[in-house]
Amino acid sequence: MGTRESIAKKVAWISVISNILLTFGKLIVGYHGKSDAVFADGIHSAADVFASVIVLLVIKIANKPADKEHPYGHGKAEIIVSGMVGIVLLIVSFYVVFEGIVGFFHPISTPNILAMWVAIVSYGLKEFLYRYSLRVAKVHSSKAIEAIAYDHKADIVASIAAAGGVILSIIGDKLNIHVLLYGDKIASIVVAILIFKIAIEMLKESFDILLERNIDSEKMMDYSSIISSFPDVKRIDKIRAREHGHYVLVDLRISIDHEKTIKEGHDLTREIKHELMKKYDNIEEVLIHLNPYYQY
């Protein structure tokens, strides 16, 4: 747990530092370079700083072992973080689209070429951070780090849209094509829509896990296959599994021969639990209820 926590903190700190630098860069260049899209992207990066700080504060809680008050552990703290990041992104998307629409009613000005380069640099950095964070999230089954990764992904699409909007505005100014001058304004709205889409996906996943949705059917079939491989298991009466942050809890009801002793039943459940946890290292607990099976 200590290693997992330290790696998660490292990812979060990298995100905080990079987002602080990008926030100042985008806001300053976006404002002085007259680019609404880059400035909006800067607001998004500021929200990312807030989200990363939240992750840092909660990681320690999520990695605490189970205790008397929290017998199932503290893993859902990561889900709460993921949901909070989603809410922050949702608010940012509404703000950005509002500013973009308002911009259509103000005099149009051509963005500075520097705004385009800031957006391109942001894209390159965020592409690297997204891949790095997502890889770490998958290795350590961390929803908090995964939230950071998808936050970086939102920045990637936002930076591409911002750069494209600045380029269109500059081309419109050079070629005297008036409609292209609105490219930067349109790009800021596109940025907002992309951020909104990612925010909704994050919130949906967070709510599904908090409401204890069953894990995907393919993995449930794998679990069932492992359980059925034991000859003494006559029937799987019921199987449920739910994510609890970075780990999974499995509830199981199986039928075994009614003549089996309590010790034989106990030994079987221990073997099933051991086999499941050996095949899937993110399974934290397997609770098994035994039913008597009668051959008719």
Among 132, 129, 141, 133, smallest CA distance to 4 is for 141
Q: Are residues 170 and 275 in the same domain?
A: no
What does the DSSP assignment read for the chain?
-HHHHHHHHHHHHHHHHHHHHHHHHHHHHHHHTT-HHHHHHHHHHHHHHHHHHHHHHHHHHHTSPP-SS-TT-STHHHHHHHHHHHHHHHHHHHHHHHHHHHHTTS---PPPHHHHHHHHHHHHHHHHHHHHHHHHHHHHT-HHHHHHHHHHHHHHHHHHHHHHHHHHHHHHHHHT-GGGGGHHHHHHHHHHHHHHHHHHHHHHHHHHHHTTPBPPHHHHHHHHHHHHTSTT--EEEEEEEEE-SSSEEEEEEEEEETT--HHHHHHHHHHHHHHHHHH-TTEEEEEEEEEEE---
Q: Are residues 35 and 123 in the same domain?
A: yes
Q: Using the 3D structure, point to which of 185, 210, 235 is the last residue of a domain.
A: 210
- Condensed to tens digits (0 to 9), the pLDDT of residues 73-123 reads 666 666 777 777 788 878 888 887 887 787 777 777 778 888 888 888 888
- Condensed to tens digits (0 to 9), the pLDDT of residues 156-199 reads 877 888 888 888 888 888 888 877 878 877 877 887 887 788 78
Q: Are residues 242 and 189 in the same domain?
A: no
Q: Using the 3D structure, point to which of 184, 210, 236 is the last residue of a domain.
A: 210
pTM (2 d.p.): 0.61
Torsion of CA 166, 187, 121, 173, to 10 degrees: 0
Quote the pLDDT of residue 177: 83
Residue 258: give the domain boundaries: 217-293
Q: Are residues 158 and 277 in the same domain?
A: no
Quote the pLDDT of residue 295: 76
Q: Are residues 173 and 283 in the same domain?
A: no
* Domain of residue 23, CATH code: 1.20.1510.10
Distances from the Cα of 126 to the Cαs of 5, 120, 160, 191, 262, in angstroms?
Answer: 23, 10, 11, 15, 57
Confidence of residue 296 (pLDDT cuts 50, 70, 90): low
- Condensed to tens digits (0 to 9), the pLDDT of residues 94-103 reads 887 887 787 7
Confidence of residue 4 (pLDDT cuts 50, 70, 90): low
Quote the pLDDT of residue 253: 93
Q: Domain count of the chain? A: 2
Q: Using the 3D structure, point to which of 160, 184, 210 is the last residue of a domain.
A: 210
